[in-house]
Structure 1
Amino acid sequence: MSSQSLTDVRPAVIIEDHAPRGITLRSIGSMLMLAVMWGLSIPVTKLGLESLPPLTLTAMRFAIAVPLLLVFAVGQNPLPRRAFPRVAALGVLGIGIGQVAQTFGVSGTSASVGTIISATIPVFIVFFAALRLKQHVSGWQKLGLLAAFAGIALVAYARGHGTTGSSGTSVVGALCVLLSALAIAFYYVWSVELTTAYGTATVAAWSTLFGFLALLPWAAWEMWQVPFHITTSGISAAAYLGLIVTVSGLFLWLNLLRHVPARVAASVQFLQPVFGIAAASMMFGDRLGPSFVAGVALVLVGLAFSMTSRRGAR
């Protein structure tokens, strides 16, 4: 909404470029700031999981984000009753599956592995857009998908060869992050029609609220069953994910799209995993062996190929 109103990746990579304005130092600075903010999301999640269980951390994140999103939605297009079921389902998909799977996945992977698998979200956006929005998929984009999957396989292979440091990675953890990437990508594609009809702020606020409400009973059950300690690092991680990644990141992104072409703004996707992996290396001592580096390179190549589509998404 990871992003995102929900995670760390934006749907603009599938939308026609309508922002012909020039690029300024301010816009470049905004893109770099955004790459850092979103790039740190997986390492910060990993930090929060050291003291908080997955559902509890996710619930705390959106308990912070939801009121702020609702405030920003005040005065925007109202959401009609007939749209509630679709927006609610969107929130359950984005948070109940996407964000929860990401948090569980990060608990079972190193921060570096989680970061690079999450970086595949734009690749999946392109292919879900082809299915749902009937957009053309070029040969380069198909090659990009293959490269991204090959990169994920290499990253997963690296986990068993001592290249990811003290934070071990399991196959289940990697699959959970991959499931999260698929769910979040589908969330963005599915949200295009709704945001076009009712506005981004409105759909983001209401879908996040519905997803949060669906999560609350499970988080309450987890808090009852799983012992945990409220720590400064845990609260700080939840606050960062809710305030910086979910809310500030969304509105910085929307402001950025008003000043630079969408495809230029989307180039932040290349920097996000770089900052995330650098942070994981410093925070958790993740070691970047040859297999891991090769996997990262393949994922970035896949991301580049996936963004070479023709202009003109309808």
Structure 2
Amino acid sequence: MSTSARTRAPPRSAAVRGFGLLLITTVSWGLNWPVIKFLLGVLPPFSVRVLAAVLGVGLGFLVAAVRHERLVPPRHQWARLVISALLNFSSFMISATVSMLWLRASEAVIIAYTLPIWAALLAWPVLGERPTRLRLVALVLGLLGVIVMMSGQPVDASWQKLPGVLCALTGSVMFAFGAVTSKRWPLAMPPVAGVAWQVGIGSAPALVPAVFEHPNWGAAPASAWICLFYLGTVPVIIAYLAWFRALKLLPASTAAIGTLLVPVIGVVSSVLLLGDAFGPRQIAGLVLTLTGVALAARR
């Protein structure tokens, strides 16, 4: 192995930790699909996002205080903090939600999970991570698996759905750009406090549409409150902490390809928790996606 190859490849122990953290992230985000699907049948979308963010921010600052982390960002980090929050949090929290005003969930997720394409493309000029042939094959297999599994109904490319397509695509590109820029210019902040600030800042744009919603909190069943607690703690705080740490240990494009497990876990958990169908199409998509992720994990 050349000296340059050694420099670029993470140590094996770091790679193992990185993939372990990536697994925590993908499982947490994958379980979001049935949880959010259930909650949207009970409460309006932006109110759900805002309340989950309040829980996440509160938990994040509480944990940061217990860890004796500095809670106030350094003055020179504010601009980077806001940009990171908008790219890493607002992208999926708001853009993906808004896209479903025009698109079915299966359509939105196909577009949203083109993010490994954008991450692989952006990682080249921003990080100098030139995509290898094996990683490109992994990318194609993973994306093909997502499309096969999630496209129960073909995407309608009519003009009426164009706003939703643009919203989902914007969220995907923003998140991918956030992944590579977070690796290139990481925040100089303690980890938990940094995530708590990003959740709060990134969720702030959802406050505007949430004001015009009229949720009936008193009518929400206990199961909805349990789901809200999960939504505001595990995927928002724990998963993002694991995600940012994984980005430091793995190539950004590899980490992004690993997130293709999110829709796989989303489908499987929906089958188990909501009784969704799981037939040959879902099985084929699962095999393709897992093959792509396995190839991406090879050195």
CA RMSD of aligned residues (A): 4.2
Alignment partner of 1:281 out of 252, 271, 278 = 271
Among all aligned residue pairs of Structure 1 and Structure 2, give the percentage whose two residues are the same amino acid.
24
Alignment partner of 1:295 out of 261, 272, 285 = 285
What is residue 130 of structure 2 aligned with on the other side?
A: 136
Q: Does the aligned pair in 2 maintain the 1:147–1:299 contact within 8 Å?
A: yes
Aligned letter for 1:20?
Answer: S
Deviations 1:194-230 (A, max 9, x none): 4353343343222222112233223213x1xxx4432
Aligned letter for 1:191?
Answer: S
Deviations 1:84-137 (A, max 9, x none): 122112212333222223334567545x77778766655654443223212121
Q: Does the aligned pair in 2 maintain the 1:42–1:115 contact within 8 Å?
A: no
> Any unmatched runs of 5+ in structure 1?
1-14, 162-169
Q: Does the aligned pair in 1 maintain the 2:60–2:196 contact within 8 Å?
A: yes
Q: What is the alpha-carbon distance in structure 2 between the residues aligned to residue 306 and residue 277 of structure 1?
A: 21
Q: Does the aligned pair in 1 maintain the 2:108–2:168 contact within 8 Å?
A: yes
Structure with bigger helix share is 2
Q: What is the alpha-carbon distance in structure 2 between the residues aligned to residue 177 and residue 156 of structure 1?
A: 15
What is residue 158 of structure 2 aligned with on the other side?
A: none
What is residue 185 of structure 1 aligned with on the other side?
A: 176
Q: How does 1:152-163 map to 2 (within 5 A)?
A: 152-155=146-149, 157-159=151-153
SS at match of 1:40: helix
Q: Please state how far the C-alpha of 1:68 moved relative to its aligned partner.
A: 2.0
Q: Does 1:90 align with 2:84?
A: yes
Residue range with higher mean Cα deviation, 230-239 or 83-92? 230-239
Q: What is the alpha-carbon distance in structure 2 between the residues aligned to residue 82 and residue 307 of structure 1?
A: 36
Deviations 1:14-62 (A, max 9, x none): x9635738989xx98x987766444311111111111122211111111
Q: How does 1:138-177 map to 2 (within 5 A)?
A: 138-155=132-149, 157-159=151-153
What is residue 198 of structure 2 aligned with on the other side?
A: 207
Alignment partner of 1:62 out of 46, 53, 61 = 53
Q: What is the alpha-carbon distance in structure 2 between the residues aligned to residue 296 and residue 179 of structure 1?
A: 26
Q: Does the aligned pair in 1 maintain the 2:149–2:286 contact within 8 Å?
A: yes
Alignment partner of 2:228 out of 200, 218, 238 = 238
TM-score normalised by L of structure 1: 0.67
Q: Does 1:217 align with 2:208?
A: yes
Aligned letter for 1:57?
Answer: V
Check 1:199–1:134 CA distance in 2 against 1; reply closer, same or farther (3 A cut). Answer: farther
Q: Please state how far the C-alpha of 1:179 moved relative to its aligned partner.
A: 4.6
Aligned letter for 1:220?
Answer: V
Check 1:23–1:129 CA distance in 2 against 1; reply closer, same or farther (3 A cut). Answer: closer
Q: What is the alpha-carbon distance in structure 1 between the residues aligned to residue 91 and residue 264 of structure 2?
A: 26
TM-score normalised by L of structure 2: 0.70
Check 1:135–1:23 CA distance in 2 against 1; reply closer, same or farther (3 A cut). Answer: closer
